[in-house]
Amino acid sequence: MTNPILPLLLFDGACAVCDRIGHWVQKAAHPRSGMATLEARAIGNDPTELRTLNPNLDIWDAYAIIHLLMPDGSMKTGGEAVAEVFRRLPATRWFAWCFAISLFGFKPFQQLLNLGYVILDDVRPIFGCDSCGTQRAWVKPIIRVVAWTKSLFGKSTTKAATPHFSQAANITPRPTSASMNKVG
């Protein structure tokens, strides 16, 4: 059960990196003394349930980019969501003011944070993400090097996971002659 008066951070629970960060945020937002400032939970698998949180929230979008659902019904995504999380957490709010600095309409620190989010999103597979969607071309060689290095020390790169097939199709038709029915 989430608290409707607190922002809600949705993270990809199948991704090891996101899961760790999400749980850290949840813990940091609930200090032993004082009020909770934020809720964080995994996205889950129910599109209908997600839409009860916000009618404009699509589950595909939720998995594609981090979402912070605000109590007023608005949503922040990507670097904007991260900045808002930093503003809300007692441990990070001391530096989060910098993301609001604007020079002639340009927010340099926010732009840096946006870039950092994009890079982290790209490199998640290196850190053992199980659910990272399509891997960027520039990250693939790094993943191979990391996997090779870990194999030298007898370590598995990731926990067992269901892979996502690339766009190259592997077709395995299994028709039987008696079963070819014409329809339509």
Candidate list 103, 159, 163, 177; residue touching other proteins; CB under 8 A: 163
According to the binding rule CB under 8 A, does residue 171 interact with other proteins? yes
Residue number with CB closer to other proteins (33 or 162): 162
Residue type, 30: H
Question: Per CB under 8 A, does 105 bind other proteins?
Answer: no
- Single residue of 33, 52, 177, 179 touching other proteins by CB under 8 A: 179
Kindly state whether residue 49 participates in binding other proteins, applying the rule CB under 8 A.
no
- For residue 173, CA distances in Å to 28, 78, 99, 176 come to 51, 41, 54, 9
Determine if 181 is a binding residue for other proteins (CB under 8 A): yes
Write b or e for each residue in 10-45: b if 16 or more Cβ atoms lie within 10 A of its Cβ, otherwise e: bbbbbbbbbbebbeebbebbeeeeeeebbbbeebee
Q: Is 14 in the site for other proteins (CB under 8 A)?
A: yes
Q: Which of 38, 55, 80, 148 binds other proteins (CB under 8 A)?
A: 55
Structure tokens at 52: 């009860």
CA angle 43/49/50 to nearest 5° reads 45
Q: Does 59 engage in binding with other proteins (CB under 8 A)?
A: yes
* 58 contacts other proteins (rule: CB under 8 A): yes
At closest approach, how far in Å is the CB of 63 from other proteins?
5
